[in-house]
Chains A and B, each alone.
Chain A
């Protein structure tokens, strides 16, 4: 069963999966795009740093670390 719900990457918990939908910060989105964070890609939060920030996500087969403030600019369609 699939239900779709939009949220920002920073509000996702460890283990949650989703599909990248859009970005809210233009400048940062360019950086994320070239790192392979393309709308339509599946993204998963695989680790949260012990102090709650930054987080590590899995994207196109590799692990990417980013701060919560940055993750907040990525909008994700949640997969549950």
Chain B
């Protein structure tokens, strides 16, 4: 019979844990969120042969990196809950602790805590390539004997040690016997009492329960148990912080002793390392910022220009597909739903894949090499002022191409508040979908010609981009004071040695991100897309039928040209549809901004994506698709008369007001979907829609009221 076991993979950040995970599971992985939190749960599967020759199916959970079992962030609570609570559904049968061999002292700290939980442990000492390079020598047998667990040296990059690890997993599971440190001495009597309350075998687990009581929100523990623990702690005068400090010191004392006996290293000052030399450039007060700017610019260029080719292919592919579907399926409502609702929605999702893949390819390289930590280091002072992190600049800049991948890349920001602010303000950056809108409106209301030797239209375009950036910083500043989080903002961060990126890990990472987007955010996007389709293709009563009848009749009489019929029907149908009605409905609200109901319709359909503005405008103004579209829309819009003034509808004031509206308003269902996916709270995308639309409304209102003739 096939046996199944659960294995948890834990380790410090930067210990090369994911390399070990990838080496063990290959592509047999899946990613989901842990229930209720936005922490990614990566699970992989592998089959292991036991020494008796049986097969074990091992489920491996890659837990977020942590330095200790004292959680300080949602990421760190998970390893703690999983390992300590035997009733947790993911509680492992075996724990593999991955330690960075070049920094055993700090890495063994976590290992020693897990040992004392008395779960079977295998210690993997990773990065052996660098250990050997540094001429350090580790006495594996000695450490193994001292800790009472198997210890395996590994070089995750070359795969050395993976086979040994598989063999070790295949051996019978043994829980550690000896306590690494005996916590009973800390509070005589209390630990025994706690053990009977929490019902755990390990003294240390009981000790942790008392220590972390204030932290474990999601721990499966009844209130009476908590009360009992609190009462017991009070009875024994248990001071959690003092105990934690004492435990830490004691562990380090033992670890130092062990390493003295079993590790020989030649202390080389960090200043001699290559990393230090590289840092002299990358964190230099001039070069550091220049290099970072160049990197940002390159990322921006790549997702802006390279991605446009595959995006065009995807759009064209969907065009062919929908034409094919329209022609080959029986025409009617289902056909329309499939082509204009579902296929259009799918197109709207898949088209993001190139940008997501490219951005994550670069972000993964920056992370994997260790450079991302330096970005935080040199930018922290500046970004801290706006309640963000140095790393926030990457999402902000990527937001100029597209907010969707940008928001997904905020996962690199550990601090929750900083991450949330970054997510909330990134959509204010002018993304590439606004470009066609700006282009059309600028051409419409901004005269050609030079201003101070610069092309005026170009200057306006640049100002719109700058406005987005300034608005993002301003909003961040406001949120810094509004959002309250109990979590204290720490910047205690390891600056790891520079390493060559691991291409296979990066590939897996990119694949993972694309999958998450397609399947998680994709669902919401298709749903909204169908709703928008319903709004614009249905009208109250039998309005649509009478429109068709009217134009066909006119066409038969020769009043209108036959090839205009479809176009005219479309225009009138849009006006008569629910979206059209909504446009009329909101007209009083948007009139102070200088907008009429036609613009109102465009504002509503733009929620699918901002560039839809141009398409909606051409439908409303009934522009034929055969001519040079943009020019014609521009001309039609320019010729539009405002019945109240008798002058042109699109005056300078209206054009500017509309541009500002598009610069600030949240009109992108994909962004809404991704914000929901990344925050797991419906309130954040809602707040975002409200505050951005409010900002847009206000800006447009002021500009229009000031400039209107």
Interface residues of A (CB under 8 A from B): 26-36, 38-39, 46-47, 49-54, 56, 58, 60-67, 70
Q: Is A31 a contact partner of B72 (Cβ separation < 8 A)?
A: yes
Q: Is the CB of A34 within 8 A of B109?
A: yes
Point out the residues of chain A lying under 8 angstroms from B283, CB to CB.
47, 49-50
A31 contact set on B, CB distance < 8 A? 72, 490, 492
Which residues of B from 451 to 510 have beta carbons under 8 Å from A? 488, 490-497
* A26-B241, A49-B377, A53-B380 given; A65·B495 CB < 8 A: yes
User: Which residues of A lie under 8 Å from residue B137 when comparing CB positions?
Assistant: none
Category for how many chain B residues contact A: 35 or more
Check if B68 is an interface residue, CB within 8 A of chain A: yes
- The reply to whether B288 and A35 contact each other, CB–CB distance below 8 Å, is no
Q: Can you name the residue of chain A whose Cβ is closest to the Cβ of B240?
A: A30
A38 pairs with B249, CB closer than 8 A? yes
Q: Do the beta carbons of A32 and B492 come within 8 Å of each other? A: yes
Contact of B492 among A26, A63, A70 (CB under 8 A): A70
A63 with B70, Cβ < 8 A, contacts A29-B245, A49-B377 known? no
Q: A49-B377, A70-B491 are in contact. Are A63 and B270 (CB under 8 A)?
A: yes
A-B contact pairs, 9 of them (CB 8 A): A31-B490, A35-B106, A61-B105, A62-B103, A62-B106, A62-B270, A65-B492, A65-B493, A70-B491
**Interchain CA distance A30-B391 in the complex, whole Å:** 25
B622 within 8 A of A: no
Question: Is B235 at the interface (CB under 8 A from chain A)?
Answer: no
- Cα A56 to Cα B377 with chains together (Å): 9
Alpha-carbon separation in the docked complex, A64 to B12 (Å): 14
* Residues 53-68 of B at the A interface (beta carbon under 8 Å): 67-68
CA distance in complex: A48, B497 (Å)? 17
B271 contacts A by Cβ under 8 Å: yes
Contacts between chains A and B (CB distance < 8 A), count: 108
Q: Given the complex, which residues of B lie within 8 Å of A53, measured CB to CB?
A: 380-381
**Whole-angstrom CA separation of A78 from B285 in the bound complex:** 27
Inter-chain contact B70/A51, CB cutoff 8 Å: no
Contact with B381, one of A47, A51, A61 (Cβ below 8 angstroms)? A51
Q: How many Å lie between the Cα of A35 and that of B270 in the bound state? A: 17
Q: Does the CB pair B269–A58 fall under 8 Å?
A: yes
Could you give, for residues 94-129 of chain B, a 1 whenever the CB lies within 8 Å of some chain A CB and a 0 otherwise?
A: 000000001101100100000000000000000000
A51-B382 contact, Cβ under 8 Å, with A36-B109, A62-B103: yes
State in angstroms the CA–CA spacing of A47 and B351 once bound together: 44
Point out the residues of chain B lying under 8 angstroms from A54, CB to CB: 377, 380-381, 491
Complex contact B381–A52 (CB within 8 A):
yes
CB neighbours (8 Å) of B249 from chain A are 33, 38-39
Contact A67 B380 (CB under 8 A): yes
- Contact among A28, A33, A46, A50 with B288 in the assembled complex (CB-CB below 8 Å): A50
The answer to whether B491 touches A30, judged by C-beta atoms less than 8 angstroms apart, is no
Q: Closest chain A residue to B495 by CB distance?
A: A63
Q: A50-B285, A65-B373, A65-B495 are in contact. Are A60 and B380 (CB under 8 A)?
A: no
* Also in contact, A30 and B244, with CB within 8 A (given A38-B252, A47-B283, A65-B377): yes
- With both beta carbons as reference points, the residue of chain A lying nearest to B268 in the complex is identified as A61
Alpha-carbon distance between A47 and B280 when the two chains are bound, in angstroms: 9
Q: Which residue of A lies closest to B103 (CB)?
A: A62
Judge if B33 is at the interface, Cβ distance under 8 Å: no
B241 pairs with A65, CB closer than 8 A: no
A33 with B245: CB separation less than 8 A: yes
Which residues of B lie under 8 Å from residue A32 when comparing CB positions?
Answer: 492
Which residues of chain B are near A47, meaning CB under 8 Å? 279, 283
Whether B492 and A35, one on each chain, are in contact in the complex, defined by CB atoms closer than 8 angstroms, is yes
A62 CB contact (under 8 Å) in B285, B288, B492, B494: B494
Nearest chain B CB to A29 CB, angstrom units = 7
Q: For residue A30, which residues in chain B have a CB less than 8 angstroms away from its CB?
A: 70, 241, 244-245, 248
Contacts of A58 in B (CB 8 A): 269-270
How far is it, in angstroms, between the C-alpha of A35 and the C-alpha of B251 when the chains are bound? 12
> Does B289 belong to the interface (CB within 8 Å)?
yes
B496 neighbours in A (Cβ, 8 Å): 62-63
Once bound together, how far apart are the Cα atoms of A30 and B269, in whole Å?
Answer: 26
Q: How far is the CB of B676 from chain A (nearest CB, A)?
A: 32
Give B97 Cβ to nearest chain A Cβ, in Å.
15
Q: Choose one: B106, B271, B491; the contact of A36 (CB below 8 Å).
A: B106
Closest to B100 in A: A62
Residue contact A66 to B270, C-beta cutoff 8 Å? no
A53 to B384, CA, bound (A): 11
Tell me whether B571 is interfacial, beta carbon within 8 Å: no
Contact A34 to B285, CB < 8 A, known contacts A26-B241, A54-B381, A64-B494? no
B493 contacts across to A, CB distance below 8 A: 64-66
A58–B373 CA distance with the chains assembled, in angstroms: 15
Complex CA gap A58/B272 in Å reads 12
Check A50 against B103 for contact (C-beta < 8 Å).
Answer: no
Known: A49-B380, A65-B373. A36 touches B492 (CB 8 A): no
One of B252, B276, B492 near A64 (C-beta < 8 A): B492
Given contacts A28-B492, A36-B252, 4 further A-B contacts (CB under 8 A): A34-B70, A46-B271, A56-B377, A67-B491
Complexed CA–CA distance, A27 and B487 (Å): 12
Q: How far is the CA of A52 from the CA of B382 in the complex (A)?
A: 11
Contact of A27 with B241 in the complex, beta carbons under 8 Å: yes
A65:B245 contact, CB within 8 angstroms: no
Q: How far is the CA of A53 from the CA of B385 in the complex (A)?
A: 12
Q: Which residues of B contact A35 (CB under 8 A)?
A: 67, 106, 492, 494
Q: Write the B235-255 contact mask toward A (1 if CB under 8 angstroms, else 0).
A: 000000100110011001000
A33→B248 CA distance, assembly (Å): 7
> B605 on the interface (CB 8 Å rule)?
no
B577 adjacent to chain A (CB < 8 Å): no
